[in-house]
Amino acid sequence: MPLPDFATDERLVTDSEKVAFEAFDRLVAAKSGDGLSVAAIAFADSLGSPGEFKQYAQGRMADRLARIDHLLKVYRENTELLVHKTWVEKSDEKRKERLIEEILAFEREFREGAVKASFRRFVLLCHSIAHLLFGSQSRADDFLSYAFRIDPKLGLFFWFVEELEEQVRAESGPDELLTMETVIGMYILSCF
């Protein structure tokens, strides 16, 4: 997939961030198995701390599941804290309450192994978090460019969310890929 126009502007994105686009292409192409975990690590390393994501993608299954379970807990706690600490207009207070409910529903679905449902809900949560942080700007046509100007890794994260949104619309992707992408998303949000 080609890089978005704004992502080729070297003033906005470094070579290391461009690596993320290539790693994501490999991730989606791999779909499962060792290729998936290697590509997932490369992509997550480009957005988080290099070497840190490997614990969620490789190793003994029991160990990985325990680490992912802990990541899910950290993600929920950090996201809830973000929602509670974000100031909003009085009219948006109900939106914050619904967002907390959605976070809990996502956690429940993910734990129950409802891959497609939790994947869809995760994408919606990311959009809701963007709206909470950036208001109506998060729905503007130039939001990704705006996010890249704030911070290239933030821009890459929201580009990633847009790519996940495309998968939701197309109802595509095997469960192993969707699960890995969800774990990557939780990891990245936990790193910010």
Q: Please write the tens of the pLDDT for every residue from 2-11.
A: 455 655 556 6
Please tell me the distance from the alpha carbon of residue 13 to that of residue 9, in angstroms, as a whole number.
6
Q: Please write the tens of the pLDDT for every residue from 86-126.
A: 877 777 788 888 999 999 999 999 999 999 999 999 999 99
Q: Please write the tens of the pLDDT for every residue from 13-42.
A: 577 778 898 999 999 999 788 999 999 999
> Whole-structure pTM over 0.85, yes or no?
yes
Q: Please write the tens of the pLDDT for every residue from 152-191.
A: 889 899 999 999 999 999 988 899 999 999 999 999 998 8
